[in-house]
Amino acid sequence: MMRTTATRPELRIGGYRLSAIVPHWDSLKHSSRPNGDWELSFRIAADAHWRHPALTKRALTDLMYGPTCLFAGSMSEPNWDDGSMTVIGASREADDAIALDAAGNASTKPNEVIDAAIARGALSWTRVGDFGNTPMGETTGGLVKLRSVLDAWAQKTGKTWHVNARRQLIIIEPSEAAPSWLVTPGSGVLGAAGDQQVDVVFVRFINAATGRRDSAWYPSTSPVRPNEEPTDLTGRGAMTAADATTTAQNIWAEMQGRPGWVNRLSLHHGVITNLGGTKADCATVRAPQAMVLRDVRDTRGLALNTAIILDEAEYDWDDDDLTATPRGLAARDPEAALEQVGNLAVDAMAAATAGRSGDTGWITVTTFQNGWTHFDAPRPVQYRRIGTRVQLRGFMRSGAINAVAFTLPAGFRPVARLYADHAWPVMSNGNALGVVSADGSNGNFVPVAGDPAWIDLSPITYLVD
């Protein structure tokens, strides 16, 4: 392999180390998508007279890199003619598992069908996230696959279900603007396709108040001659108009409400770093992580850097190359999204959501720590919650990097994470890229990178419970 690192990857298949049962294997590739690991492939020396009991269909397979598991899945049928092997990612087990309750009856209650599938061995997962037991649709139409239930849950909640490399089913916040990686300037360019932009999402649903079919859409105001996307929700049973509108909003957010990209990025070793500037191992990059393309101007012209969410990440171990397929621009605040779909006024967003979920208005931070303070009177640090989304704005200055700047009260804090704090790319003095992180468990906001002469908090937005 062309990798320069000393540690060699190892495949663990059916309890065996691959290097212990075959003399040579190569051509290793693995990929991930937003719901988890997607596919892994490798090749062994072909021998028409040799078979090993571990290399069989459905054998549990893990890609180990030292003590770290990078991929989890199950073997598909081996191709003994040419020695090519394929492993299907663990997240795709949802494609085959039927949505049943513990008694074997059809159900669309997420926790119920997930736990029942795990118990009967249809899934190799453990469930960590709480998906609730609100039915995601009717069962009168027959049996459905587990993926249909999970995808319906994702559209309704605006969150993403994800099976990680430890085979844990977890919940990820949608389109979070919390980058894991930075791409050095000049390493990749994206072309935008305006015809892929979705301006308005219309949904057809059964109105719980009337029992009749009805329509809802998001956003409430659209540009002239918009690109409209229809979605049929009638199979999910009756719902309120507010729930239908929220689902339309989440579908719109998933489609990003902004131009699609026309190309992938091919990134080689050395051009990706973590937020601290250390060169990253491309093998550890996963979808749906976010990365910032430095010095690639945002298509709106509002920022010097472009943030993308990975819809697929495929790593070639032989060439040490990562092929990154972007889903679209990483989510910013709702006002900015409305600017992209038609230069609408910020008030349109408030009008569309305030009546449904409430708007706190802008609240000024009154207490700072570790030397931080408002930059000036016209641009104080403020926060606001509209429904379940919180937005920050304003500039702060003169404090210590890597120290708590301020704390937001309960009700305005991002959802607490088990695996890492939230983080957002921001601009600081001299157009230097900064990073601000937040701990959802206590509401502490910490500038971890940037020039303390001033830091702009306007890009920070997130969901609350």
Q: How far is CA 125 from the centre of its chain?
A: 19
Quick check: do 96-172 and 358-463 share a fold?
no
pLDDT of residue 230: 83
E strands within 122-226? Answer: 126-127, 160-163, 168-172, 179-183, 192-193, 200-207, 213-218
Is residue 185 helix, strand or coil?
coil
- Calculate what percentage of the chain has a pLDDT beyond 90: 37
Region 250-259: what's the mean pLDDT? 59
pLDDT of residue 343: 32
Provide the b/e sequence for 212-243 (b: ≥16 CB within 10 Å).
eebebbbbebbeeeebebeeebebbbebebeb
Please list, in sequence order, all residues whose beta carbon lies within 8 angstroms of the beta carbon of residue 96, skipping any fewer than 6 positions away: 122, 145
pLDDT of residue 87: 96
Class of residue 136 by CB neighbours under 10 A (exposed 0-12, middle 13-18, buried 19+) = buried
Task: Indicate the pLDDT class of residue 330, thresholds 50, 70 and 90.
Answer: very low
The gap between the terminal CA atoms of the chain, to the nearest Å, is 46
Q: How far is CA 251 from the centre of its chain?
A: 14
Do you know the residue count of the chain?
465
The answer to whether the CB of 364 falls within 8 A of the CB of 393 is no
Q: Where are the domains of the chain?
A: 10-93, 96-172, 176-188+259-356, 199-254, 358-463
> Backbone phi, then psi, for 419, in 5-degree steps?
-105, -20
Most confident range (mean pLDDT) of 102-116, 380-394, 432-446 is 102-116
Region 226-231: what's the mean pLDDT? 77
The architecture in CATH of the region 96-172 reads 3-Layer(bab) Sandwich (3.55)
Region 435-457: what's the mean pLDDT? 90
Would you say residue 217 has pLDDT above 90?
no
Provide the b/e sequence for 307-331 (b: ≥16 CB within 10 Å).
bbbbbbbbbbbeebbbbbbbbbbbb
pLDDT of residue 251: 75
Region 153-172: what's the mean pLDDT? 90
Question: pTM here?
Answer: 0.63
d(CA 282, CA 266): 11
pLDDT of residue 206: 86
Just give the CATH number of 358-463.
2.60.40.2460
Which tokens sit at 54? 């571990």
Which tokens sit at 298? 């945002």
